[in-house]
Amino acid sequence: MLVFFPKKIASGCYWPSSRKRIKSVSSMIRVLFICLGNICRSPLAEAIFNHKVIEKELEGTIHSDSCGTSDYHIGEQPDERSMQCAKNRGILINHRGRQINRLDLKDFDYLIVMDQSNLQKVKNLMDIHGISHSHLYLMREFQPNAAHSDVPDPYYGEADGFEEVYDILEESLENFLAKIIEDHHLHV
């Protein structure tokens, strides 16, 4: 299976391209970002991460996706505040909400969860299916000196909560990508 990855468009934003062919997803390093509904934190993490991957010219090596532990927003676009927050920083989000499934636990090399509650839900799903995973992390494990272990859920707040989440994700993802580069001896 061939996949297509984002390209930079004139506005400085990134948008999916149908022109750049990349090797099959199964042969790539695969990262899954997980939150509750898959409309705020995890699609924002996916978009920021993809932006960083493109900047380092690793889009043919690393693939990411996002999902939620709940089925609340399956098929929906991300929250408008997440999309606007990303757009303000030159990143476009192209995602539809989906729920985590058994195959995700097997197919992704890294599972990055936004908070303790959803981490427990992922662990419960792993137990149900008898699956273990060696690269299951909380996002803020990659944020040095983080005051809390959870990325706060901005859904019930105002736009400034999304900006705070963006800043947390930006720093955490920079460090996470550095770990992947080091662990897999990638050349950038």
- Bridge partners of 8? 14
In a domain? residue 93: yes
Would you call 40 a catalytic residue per the annotation? no
- Per-residue pLDDT reduced to its tens digit, 43-74: 999 999 999 999 999 999 999 999 999 999 99
Nearest of 55, 45, 52, 5 to residue 28 by alpha carbon: 5
SS3 24: coil
Residue 114 belongs to a domain with what CATH number? 3.40.50.2300
Q: 19, 21, 35, 107: which is the annotated catalytic residue?
A: 35
Which pLDDT value is given to residue 67?
Answer: 98
Q: Is the pLDDT of residue 2 over 50?
A: no
Tell me the two tokens of residue 85.
Answer: 């927050």
In a domain? residue 187: no
In a domain? residue 14: yes
Would you call 67 a catalytic residue per the annotation? no
Average pLDDT, the chain: 89
Q: What is the extent of the structural domain holding 106?
A: 3-181
Would you call 35 a catalytic residue per the annotation? yes
Which pLDDT value is given to residue 101?
Answer: 97
Which pLDDT value is given to residue 90?
Answer: 96
Give, in degrees to the nearest 5, the angle at Cα 101 between 98 and 106: 125
In a domain? residue 51: yes
Q: Is the pLDDT of residue 138 over 60?
A: yes
Q: 40, 41, 81, 104: which is the annotated catalytic residue?
A: 41
- Bridge partners of 176? none
In angstroms, the CA 115 to CA 102 distance is 20
Which pLDDT value is given to residue 109?
Answer: 97
In angstroms, the CA 187 to CA 164 distance is 31
Which pLDDT value is given to residue 20?
Answer: 44
Phi, psi of 69 (to 5 degrees): -85, -15
Instruction: Look up tokens 């060696």; give the residue.
Output: 134
In angstroms, the CA 39 to CA 91 distance is 16
Q: Is the pLDDT of residue 12 over 90?
A: no
In angstroms, the CA 105 to CA 178 distance is 23
In a domain? residue 188: no
Give, in degrees to the nearest 5, the angle at Cα 172 between 61 and 147: 160
Q: 79, 115, 150, 153: which is the annotated catalytic residue?
A: 153
Task: Kindly indicate the confidence band of residue 5, based on its pLDDT and cuts at 50, 70 and 90.
Answer: very low
In a domain? residue 186: no
Whole-prediction pTM: 0.87
- Per-residue pLDDT reduced to its tens digit, 69-84: 999 999 999 999 999 9
Instruction: Look up tokens 């390093």; give the residue.
Output: 29
- Bridge partners of 186? none
Strand bridging mode 3-8 / 14-22: antiparallel
User: How many structural domains is the chain composed of?
Assistant: 1
Higher pLDDT among residues 123 and 6, named by residue: 123
